[in-house]
Structures are given as structure tokens and as C-alpha cells.
Amino acid sequence: MAAWLGLWGSYHCFTAVSLSLVIVLVHGVDNAIYSFNIGHEVKRNQVKNCDFFQGSWVFDNSFNPLYDSSSCPFIGGGFDCQKNGRPDQNYLKYRWQPHGCDLPRFNGIDFLEKHRNKKILFVGDSLSNNMWRSLICMLHSAVPNSDYTFGSRGSLSTFSLPEYGVSVNWLKNGFLVDMGYEKIGKVLKLDSISAGSQWLGADVLIFNSYHWWTHSGRLQTWDYFRFGHKTVKEMDHMEAYKIAMTTWGNWVDKNIDTSKTRVFFQGVAAVHLNAKEWNDPNHKDCSEQTEPLKGSTYPGPGVPGEAILKSILSKMAKPAYLLDITLLTQLRKDGHPSIYAGGGPKFIDCSHWCLAGVPDTWNQLLYAALLQK
């Protein structure tokens, strides 16, 4: 199963396999551009003052996704729920409605013009991959006849549109801090970042780290924690996360010139592994879920990493912009691949998200945040 998941950046594995660089120059398919009718046109001052992250999901039959999954060649098998046989489509008809304001609709051409000759880099785990693939599908749909390059080498996946000089890349790095391979085993170094040089030079950075920290047992990808001169077999995973994200925050403050580089943190996406959290006695998890939770509150427990992350960001000298997606993902129990992840009916994915789907809203929020500048 791990080998299958590796195709689309599973967070079950932490590997950096050196692959030959594969770059394909492709002329865009002459397909119809899907309507950009997410949200509504809004005035810039409304965008500036809007809290986009408090709201609810609204069913809108006139709402169309920004791309058709069958026309995007970048989705990857695990996220393509329609190709994998998902029979319902209403989950594609919900739009995120913030309280008291509207989201600006995503305009792919405007996004590209604003980032002409710019480098955008996602750094994180498979949820980062989920968001990255969503964005490049959205951009490809906006300019379907533009040539593009798409490839991978080791832990770096690349996409570019030469017409605009824009590159949108994803660097797989689920912990952000270092993983060392020593005689005793794999050591997670909570106070060390040696890979940061790979993050320099980007005009927009979108970091993400959380889900790998929650793993235990056979899903855990490290053997020891190290902090300073202390090496331990086990410690509270959220305490380790707090130390590591503090290390990351200090690295950003020291190394990133925020007058030249916009820094975002993707935020903590919810999982739906226990239907009891939303008071559903008829299901075990996200399987067979076809609609979001109504309203603006999640009846289940909070996500521990959310409070930790917000605390760390608030203490940064140069705070990253938090794309606070926790609530809007908590409400979308219907947005996961579940049994339509391509791994057969016994493999149920309640952590990642269908494309098209919820991650498109994350990128709409990214676009809105860039407009707020």
C-alpha cells in the first residue's frame, strides 16, 4: 500500500528517492475554461477587512468547480475520486461562505499576471501535495492552451508556465526539521533545519506540517527524538511538534526577507476517522458521507495542533500568514476520497481530499490573502 501511496506523496513514508528529472513540454488541451464563479466580485476594502476563515458551507447548484478533474493531467490517482468511481457529485456544489463578507472569486489569469516571473513553493507533506495539485489544475484550466512543464526529481515536484515565467513547485518535507539516519535508527532533530537552503529564492512560500507528527506504531516514520544533547525514544508528540515549529519559526525570522517573500502556513486540515464526533451512529468514518455538516461549529473535539501553531505564529518577529483551514475542513466530512482513493474498497482515506474539491477553496483563500496585501 505504501508503494501505491508514494505516487502522490503519502505521509506514511518519509523518503527522498533520487529520480531522473522528467520534464515534459506539453501544449495545453483546447478544452473549455470552466467558469470562475466561486464567490462573488467584492471590493478591495471588503477583502482587506474580511475574516475569511469563519463561515459555513452553502449549497449552490449554480456553482461549478474551477476545473474538471477529467481535464487536469496533474491530479494523481489518489485524489481523483470521480475517476476512481465516486458516484455522487453534490460535494462539488458547495462553496465556502464567510460571515459578513464574500470571498473574491479566483481569477487564474490575474493570479498569473500578478506572479509573472515569480517562484511559488509549497513545502510540506501530502496535504501540501493536495493543495499544490489543486492550484496547478486551477491555473492550467485558466490558460488551457499555454505550454507547461511538469516533472519530478527526488523530493521536488515542479510545474511551470513559460508564457508567464511562473513556477509552482512542491518540496516534500513533512516535518520541516531534520531527520537523521544514524546507527541507532532514524532521529528526528527538533532543533535543527539544514534543508532551509532549498526554500530560499521563492517569492511565495507555503509551508505545512502536522499530520506526520500524529503518527504512532507502524505509521511512525522515526525512531528517536533529539533536542539539544538529549535523545529520547518517546515523548509527547504535540510537545515535539511545538519545539519543531518553534525551530521553523525562528528559521523564517532569521532567513526570510518578508519584503521580498510572502510566507504562508497552510494550517491544520481535519481528518474524519470517527463518525461519533459528528453524532452519526450509522457510520464508522468518512465513508458514504455526501454532504457537509451544517452551520459554523464542529461538534467533535478540537485539533491540538491548531492552538500550538497559532501560538507559535503569534510569537514570530515576522509572522507567517495562517491559512486557517481547520474549521472549514472539520465541516467537510464528505470531501475525502474514502473508498475512492484508488487502493480498492478496503483502503479508506479520510485524511486527504478529492480533487476537484475542498483544497480548491484553500487556494481561493490563498488568492484572497494575496489580494489583501
Positive/negative CA dihedral, 179, 272, 57, 51: negative
Nearest CA among 256, 291, 287 for reference residue 273:
287
Other CB atoms within 10 Å distance of the CB of residue 297: 11
40 part of the active site: no
The cell for 49 is 477587512
Alpha-carbon gap, residue 176 to 213, rounded angstroms = 11
Alpha-carbon gap, residue 193 to 17, rounded angstroms = 20
**10, 56, 69, 126: the active-site residue:** 126
36 touches 106 (CB < 8 A): yes
Pairing of strands 224-227, 230-232: antiparallel
126 part of the active site: yes
Peptide bond into 356 cis (omega under 30): yes
Helix residue ranges per DSSP H, the chain? 2-6, 44-49, 108-114, 126-142, 237-255, 304-315, 326-330, 358-372
272 part of the active site: no
Alpha-carbon gap, residue 223 to 187, rounded angstroms = 6
What is the DSSP-derived secondary structure letter of residue 344?
-
- The per-residue DSSP string of 241-280 comes to HHHHHHHHHHHHHHH--TTT-EEEE---------GGGGT-
Nearest CA among 356, 329, 312 for reference residue 96:
329
Alpha-carbon gap, residue 288 to 284, rounded angstroms = 10
**157, 349, 351, 360: the active-site residue:** 349
**211, 351, 352, 360: the active-site residue:** 352
Nearest CA among 232, 225, 228 for reference residue 187:
225
Positive/negative CA dihedral, 76, 91, 94, 292: negative
Which residues participate in catalysis according to the annotation?
A: 126, 349, 352
